[in-house]
Structure 1
Amino acid sequence: MPTSTVLKACDEMQPEIDLSGEAGWTPFDAPALVGDSLRFVSGDRSGDRFRARYYRDADNHLHARFWLGPEAEGPPGHAHGGAVAAIMDEALGLAGWAEGYSIVVGNLNVSFRNMLPLGRVITVESRVVSVEGRKIMVHGRIFCGDTTYAEAQCLCITIPGIPGK
């Protein structure tokens, strides 16, 4: 029986995917907060496109570990820009929900800094940076070690009639 080859965070090939968090991070049950709406990116935990696990740190900022597999390929051996944007959309929007805001993304700006190799476990950090009426601004980045793959700014809008802040 063939063995699968995948990666641990920032390392070369390892025998299994390790999506565990850093010291001081606590697991965050994102689907329990927003339901099945996360299925587009992180809903398939055993798939060949994305795998994800969310965490919160001591300051309640949202972090995630993501793995992108062969079904997320754009340029040979690297993630498709749309896959990177989809991760940012989910993680930054979820950061707002985790802070208690019922939101939808109104504008997402992604700056691609480096090509993201497939088969790597990467870290996503996101946090609410400002609130002005119904407008919630969230920033985030995708990185591994000292390499930043993408940064994003997201203007989210609260949904009228949905409980939240």
Structure 2
Amino acid sequence: MRVVKKKVLVDVCGPVDLSGDEGWVAFDAPALVGASLRFVSGEPDGNRYRVRYYRDAEQQLRARIWFGPETEGPPGHSHGGAMAAVLDEVLGLAAWAAGHRVVVGNLNISFRNLLPLEEVVTVESTVISAAGRKVMVHGRICLGETVFAEAECLCITLPGK
């Protein structure tokens, strides 16, 4: 007999301020793509990620993201895979927000600095080009002048959409 204990989510970190910058407008990402945002955005009060999406004055997608203790890799810092998951979601969503129904075909990430846990960072995204079924999006995770990771994302539009 196998006994499985149910994981109980305990909010050990308290509230987090995910406010946007001046001129940013809140963006309802789940209304655009539905429940597919569960992996990163699925627990808005959890201890893994907390996310709020915005559009800036140029209509580019921005996100404020808190990397909680459940994203830990190196002691006291976020795991590279946790950062990659965030970039996958935000850059793919940036293409959707620009009117392209896509999946991520290729995601190239350059990690620049260790990201301390429980920091609120900004994820910036810019749709660079759209040609045929290919949409190129660039982005980065940053806090002020510190860049934690930069990424290039090739998105492929879904057939018949």
Give the match for residue 86 of structure 1: 85
SS of match in other structure, 1:22:
coil
| Runs of 4 or more consecutive aligned structure 1 residues displaced over 6 Å after TM superposition | none
SS of match in other structure, 2:36:
helix
Give the match for residue 111 of structure 1: 110
Unaligned runs of 5+ in 1: 7-15
- Range moving further from structure 2, 21-30 or 125-134: 125-134
Give the match for residue 61 of structure 1: 60
Unaligned runs of 5+ in 2: 1-10
1:56 is matched by which residue type in structure 2? R
Give the match for residue 121 of structure 2: 122
Give the match for residue 23 of structure 1: 22
Deviation at 1:5, TM superposition (A): 5.0
Taking the aligned partners of 1:84 and 1:29, their CA distance within structure 2 comes to 21
Alignment: residue pair count: 151
Deviation at 1:161, TM superposition (A): 1.9
Contact 2:12 2:47 in 1 (8 A): no
Q: Cα RMSD (Å) of the superposition?
A: 1.2
Identity %: 66
Q: Give the direction of change, closer, same or farther, for the CA distance of 1:40–1:5 in structure 2 (3 Å limit).
A: closer
SS of match in other structure, 2:20:
coil
Taking the aligned partners of 1:28 and 1:117, their CA distance within structure 2 comes to 26
Contact 2:110 2:149 in 1 (8 A): yes
Give the match for residue 151 of structure 2: 152
Give the TM-score of the pair, scaled to structure 1: 0.89
Taking the aligned partners of 2:53 and 2:147, their CA distance within structure 1 comes to 19
Give the TM-score of the pair, scaled to structure 2: 0.91
Taking the aligned partners of 1:49 and 1:62, their CA distance within structure 2 comes to 22
Taking the aligned partners of 1:146 and 1:108, their CA distance within structure 2 comes to 23
